[in-house]
Amino acid sequence: MKPEAFEMILDSIADGVFTVSPEWRITSWNKAAERITGFSAEEAIGSFCHDVFRANVCQGGCVLRQTMETGENLLNRPINILTREGYEKPVSISTAVLLDEEGQPAGGVETFRDLTEIEHLRRRLERDYSFEDIVSKNSRIRELFEIMPRVAESESTVLIQGESGSGKELFARALHNLSARKGKPFVGVSCAALPGELLESELFGYQAGAFTGARTDKPGRFAAAAGGTLFLDEIGEIPQALQVKLLRVLQERVYEPLGANVPVPAEVRIVAATNRDLKAEVDAGRFRGDLYYRLNVVRLELPPLRRRREDIPLLAGHFIARFNAEKGREIEGLTPAALSALSAHDYPGNVRELENAIEHAFVMCRGTWIDVQHLPPEIVGDETSGQPSAPAPTDDTAFDAAEAAVIRAALAQHDGHRVHTARSLGIHKTTLLRKMKKLGVTWKRGRM
């Protein structure tokens, strides 16, 4: 191939491409490389690559050097570079060895893709769909996001209702972190974990001699949470004798440790949670009505995950990012088949079950894409066992899927209004329409 034709091909590619000699001097530099880095071909060619392609891995772990030394190509490694103007820019790089006509190494080639727009959209998603440590784009959850600061500012008792694993403690912690008590302790106790007599001493503490074996004073959870927030999880499980004592705390703001005669001020805010319908428990005579109404000053109802399926891809991505950081992995995402299986499951364990499924997949997956066979059997069912896995999406496919998801999310946020959607994404309306057509994104006002 003539050099002119080779240059024309390189300049037609949307990704940046450059080649280096064995001495690490740049031998070619395409138009996209100029656009992404700000360095012209005249400036780049002949220079050492680390003087122009200024990556955060140049000094301590050059990926291209690793490829040229081992002969192993690398695909889509995310890194950061410094542009000619000194701005940091996220890119993904791929590397390969250049061979001469005799098949001998003659240098290296590196391609890189600008991730600025994807990073911008990712951060927009994080900002728009996260609150404290809670991630959701469900309309009901987002309504709770709106009122949480006002609830947190008050000193009112809060009752959080939701199925097991739906995130009740996350909401309780968010209330604490947003309140004036955030510098004080957040103390939680599961009311279902202990029998009544032990739960009472756990909550209120006891004095020496209160019962056999009580040789020293022991403060309870109310004392531990002084000035802060006491989270009473599974409040519907406490026996009625203890309900009476808890009612006194809420009414008089004092409590008595076991064996004590002098009341102690209860300087805590109480946030209670339950997976039961407490009103039904009151009607059935299993829960005191007066305590229920003392607890039910502000009620937050969390929908189960099966009623907020639009959150499954968002939550799965959140857990993948977290486990990547915790476990030092580089899982890129879910195959379409895996995402479909996760989205179809009913989740009796709610968000906690989804989190466990992703962690299970991290153990089973040795590659970079989580597929169906990496998910727990209860998610995919026995019928998928032994079936061939769907191919992992290509980089282009993954990019398109991410871009389509971001556009749909922005459309949902603006009720399908294309001008407002385009403005929120930082693009022109015609660009938005072109991308929607290309990606197959359709929308009618008010619904997808």
Tell me the CATH number at 235. 3.40.50.300
CA-angle at 178, arms to 162 and 145, nearest 5°: 50
Query: Same structural domain for residues 67 and 32?
Result: yes
CA distance 350 to 355: 9
Better-predicted residue by pLDDT, 386 or 227: 227
Residue 387 has what pLDDT? 43
**For residue 157, which phi and psi values (nearest 5 degrees)?**
-70, 140
CA distance 95 to 109: 6
- Give the lowest-confidence range in 61-70, 228-237, 253-262, 397-406: 397-406
Domain containing residue 248: 130-303
- List pLDDT tens digits, range 111-120: 998 888 777 7
pLDDT exceeds 90 at position 35: yes
Residue 383 has what pLDDT? 40
CA distances from 247 to 159, 218, 285, 293 (A): 14, 22, 16, 10
- List pLDDT tens digits, range 316-341: 988 998 898 888 888 888 888 888 89
Question: Of 279, 303, 327, which residue is a domain's last?
Answer: 303
Supply the CATH number for residue 351's domain. Answer: 1.10.8.60
Residue 386 has what pLDDT? 40
Token pair belonging to 124: 């927009």
Query: Same structural domain for residues 158 and 251?
Result: yes
**For residue 282, which phi and psi values (nearest 5 degrees)?**
-65, -45
Query: Same structural domain for residues 322 and 198?
Result: no
pLDDT exceeds 90 at position 150: yes
Better-predicted residue by pLDDT, 368 or 19: 19
pLDDT exceeds 50 at position 388: no
Question: Of 303, 327, 353, which residue is a domain's last?
Answer: 303
Q: Examine residue 122 and state whether it is found in any structural domain, yes or no.
A: no
pLDDT exceeds 90 at position 251: yes
Average pLDDT over residues 165-182: 94
Average of per-residue pLDDT values in the chain: 84
CA distance 31 to 140: 48
pLDDT exceeds 90 at position 249: yes
Query: Same structural domain for residues 149 and 244?
Result: yes
Residue 448 has what pLDDT? 38
Q: Examine residue 107 and state whether it is found in any structural domain, yes or no.
A: yes
Domain total in the chain = 4
Query: Same structural domain for residues 144 and 274?
Result: yes
Query: Same structural domain for residues 288 and 178?
Result: yes
Query: Same structural domain for residues 278 and 335?
Result: no
pLDDT exceeds 50 at position 393: no
Residue 291 has what pLDDT? 96
Q: What is the DSSP letter of 303?
A: P
Better-predicted residue by pLDDT, 238 or 325: 238
Question: Of 303, 330, 360, which residue is a domain's last?
Answer: 303
Nearest to 176 by CA among 229, 101, 223: 229
Query: Same structural domain for residues 277 and 320?
Result: no
pTM of the prediction?
Answer: 0.63
Q: Examine residue 119 and state whether it is found in any structural domain, yes or no.
A: no
Residue 426 has what pLDDT? 61
Query: Same structural domain for residues 142 and 259?
Result: yes
- Confidence grade of residue 425 (pLDDT, cut at 50, 70, 90): low
Helices marked H in 335-417 — which ranges? 336-344, 350-364, 377-380, 395-413
Nearest to 268 by CA among 236, 224, 218, 234: 224
pLDDT exceeds 90 at position 226: yes
Q: Examine residue 223 and state whether it is found in any structural domain, yes or no.
A: yes
Q: Examine residue 447 and state whether it is found in any structural domain, yes or no.
A: no
Query: Same structural domain for residues 333 and 265?
Result: no
- List pLDDT tens digits, range 196-224: 778 988 999 888 766 666 677 888 999 99
- List pLDDT tens digits, range 80-100: 899 999 888 888 888 888 887
Residue 169 has what pLDDT? 94
**For residue 353, which phi and psi values (nearest 5 degrees)?**
-65, -40
Query: Same structural domain for residues 92 and 71?
Result: yes
